[in-house]
């Protein structure tokens, strides 16, 4: 990068920021193109521009907050320069027009620019803005020469068309990345189905075959026990399928999100009711502490899903006749919800795997309960979608504390 002296910047006419600069920067970052490796499609456009305009330098220049970065370059070694140097910073101020500077040494905007007074000794510049469909100028396709000159009408028209091709390629590149993410999500989905649904489905089938076999020799007591196992396996399968569906919807951006001010106590009560059967079967008490007036800014469905999952895990790993502490408090800015159990705890090496749904880590509960291993991974993603976070602390053999933080207000 060329160094810039104070005297040079004092004399240079630095381009002002566009009126919609924040929107323009957001549009640029949407394409995830900055600081990426060279790509043939973009390099070919630069080469064609240089050939058509008969110049030694052609660049695809993108303007971010403080620099111009070259996605593609012909005839120049530098990968970026400060934004205040950039001729392109002036070009993006008029997205619908081609900026042509026949002789930069005679132009008051650029005559003292270090790129004019020193290497690469710019005299001629022509830049066609790269404009998105929502009219944001990301940068330019520009051609440069160390000799003063002009473009013919045909060359100018070609430069305009080529800059449109740059934007078209950015759109294609973004679409390809989205497709890759969808394919990745699909592959994870099928992998998770194979891993997490096969076992409980096989269990259901085996038990069902026994129950419908008139020659199984099962006693009434055995039949009753197998019915309980059948119900437990069906419930795990249903929860796993629900988790998988939520995961795919969330990753594809199809999971509805409608935050509002809601009663934390009502949410906690609904979650307690949903797992009352599990608590009763293990003789577990939930001791709740929450101000009835406490409110949070959250999507009701996401928050309830998180807390319900945390409580289900606490019940799963609690010992018979144990207790769970459910606490909610606020400092005015955030609401903190903790779920603490005194059960078997989590081994240190397993803690890092619990928030990674690709690992599908799962372990049996204190009464042999099974799960999909996806619950905490989803809870982590849901908490971040709510603008908060989820942290897990555990001591093996002594219990686990899950701490959820979410905004108290919009």
Strand partners, 395: 399
Report the pLDDT value the prediction gives residue 230, as an integer from 0 to 100.
77
Overall fold of domain 258-410: Heat Shock Protein 90 (3.30.565)
Residue ranges of the domains in the chain? Answer: 6-177, 197-255, 258-410
Query: How far is Cα 310 from Cα 250, in angstroms, rounded to an integer?
Result: 19
At 30, is the secondary structure helix, strand, or coil? helix
Residue 36: the pLDDT is 95
Q: Looking at residue 2, what is its pLDDT?
A: 42
Task: Give dist(CA 225, CA 202) in Å, integer.
Answer: 17
Angle at 271 between CA 268 and CA 273, to 5 degrees: 110
Residue 8, pLDDT score: 45
- Say whether 258-410 and 6-177 share the same fold: no
SS3 labels along 177-243: HHHHHHHHHHHHHHHHHHHHCHHHHHHHHHHHHHHHCCCCCCCHHHHHHHHHHHHHHHHHHHHHHHH
3-state DSSP assignment of residue 402: strand
In three state form, how does the secondary structure of 151-183 look?
CCHHHHHHHHHHHHHHHHHHHHHHHHHHHHHHH
Q: What are phi and psi of 72, to 5 degrees?
A: -145, 145
What's the Rg (C-alpha) of the chain? 31
pLDDT in tens, the chain (410 residues): 343 443 444 467 899 999 999 999 999 999 999 999 999 999 999 999 999 999 999 999 999 999 999 999 999 999 999 999 999 999 999 998 999 999 999 999 999 999 999 999 999 999 999 999 999 999 999 999 999 999 999 999 999 999 999 999 999 999 998 888 777 766 766 665 665 566 667 767 887 888 888 888 888 888 888 787 777 667 667 766 766 666 666 666 666 678 899 999 999 998 888 777 778 878 899 999 999 999 999 988 888 888 988 988 888 889 999 999 999 999 999 999 999 999 888 887 777 777 765 555 566 667 666 554 456 877 888 899 899 999 999 888 889 999 999 999 98
CB 360 within 8 A of CB 312: no
328 to each of 70, 102, 207, 222, 291, how far by Cα in Å?
51, 68, 42, 44, 8
Contacts of 4 (CB under 8 A, 6+ apart): 82, 84, 85, 114
Cα–Cα separations (whole angstroms), residue 316 to 17, 21, 223, 282: 57, 52, 25, 9
| Lookup result for tokens 């990345």 | 177
Surface-to-core class of residue 46, CB atoms within 10 Å of its CB (0-12 exposed, 13-18 middle, 19+ buried) = buried
What's the pLDDT at 3? 39
Distance CA(340)–CA(324), nearest Å, equals: 6
Please tell me the distance from the alpha carbon of residue 398 to that of residue 318, in angstroms, as a whole number. Answer: 10
How is residue 132 written in tokens? Answer: 């998105």
DSSP 373: S
Q: Which CATH number fits domain 6-177: 3.30.450.40, 3.30.450.20, 3.90.1150.10, 3.40.1280.10?
A: 3.30.450.40
The CB density around residue 131, as the number of other CB atoms within 10 Å, is: 20
Q: In the structure encoding, which two tokens stand for residue 43, read together?
A: 């390099």
């Amino acid at each position: 990068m060329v160094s810039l002296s104070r005297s040079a910047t004092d004399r240079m006419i630095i381009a002002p920021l566009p009126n919609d600069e924040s929107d323009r920067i957001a549009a640029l970052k949407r394409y995830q193109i900055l600081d990426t490796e060279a790509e043939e499609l973009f390099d070919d456009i630069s080469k064609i521009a240089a050939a058509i305009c008969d110049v030694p330098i052609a660049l695809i220049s993108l303007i971010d907050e403080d620099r111009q970065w070259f996605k593609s370059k012909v005839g120049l070694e530098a990968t970026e320069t400060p934004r205040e140097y950039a001729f392109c910073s002036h070009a993006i101020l008029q997205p619908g027009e081609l900026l042509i500077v026949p002789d930069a040494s005679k132009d008051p905007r650029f005559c003292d620019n270090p790129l004019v007074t020193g290497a690469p000794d710019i005299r001629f510049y022509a830049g066609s803005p790269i404009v998105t469909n929502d009219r944001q100028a990301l940068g330019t396709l520009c051609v440069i020469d160390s000799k003063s000159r002009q473009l013919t009408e045909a060359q100018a028209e070609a430069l305009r068309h080529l800059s449109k091709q740059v934007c078209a390629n950015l759109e294609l590149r973004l679409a390809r990345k989205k497709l890759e993410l969808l394919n990745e999500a699909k592959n994870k989905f099928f992998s998770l189905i194979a891993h997490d649904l096969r076992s409980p489905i096989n269990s259901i089938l085996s038990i069902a075959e026994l129950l419908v076999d008139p020659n199984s020799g099962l006693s009434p007591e055995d039949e009753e026990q197998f019915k309980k196992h059948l119900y437990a396996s069906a419930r795990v399968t249903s929860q796993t399928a629900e988790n998988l569906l939520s995961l795919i919807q969330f990753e594809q951006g199809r999971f509805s999100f409608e935050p509002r001010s809601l009663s934390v106590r009502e949410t906690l009560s609904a979650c307690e009711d949903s797992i009352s059967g599990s608590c009763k079967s293990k003789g577990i008490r939930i001791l709740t502490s929450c101000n009835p007036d406490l409110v949070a800014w959250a999507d009701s469905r996401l928050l309830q899903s998180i807390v319900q999952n945390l409580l289900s895990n606490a019940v799963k790993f609690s010992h018979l006749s144990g207790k769970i502490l459910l606490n909610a408090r606020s400092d005015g800015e955030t609401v903190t919800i903790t779920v603490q159990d005194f059960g078997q705890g989590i081994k240190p090496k397993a803690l890092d795997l619990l928030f990674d749904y690709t690992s599908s880590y799962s372990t049996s509960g204190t009464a042999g309960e099974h799960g999909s291993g996806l619950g905490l991974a989803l809870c982590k993603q849901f908490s971040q979608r709510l603008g908060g976070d989820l942290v897990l602390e555990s001591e093996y053999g002594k219990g686990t504390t899950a701490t959820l933080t979410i905004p108290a207000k919009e």
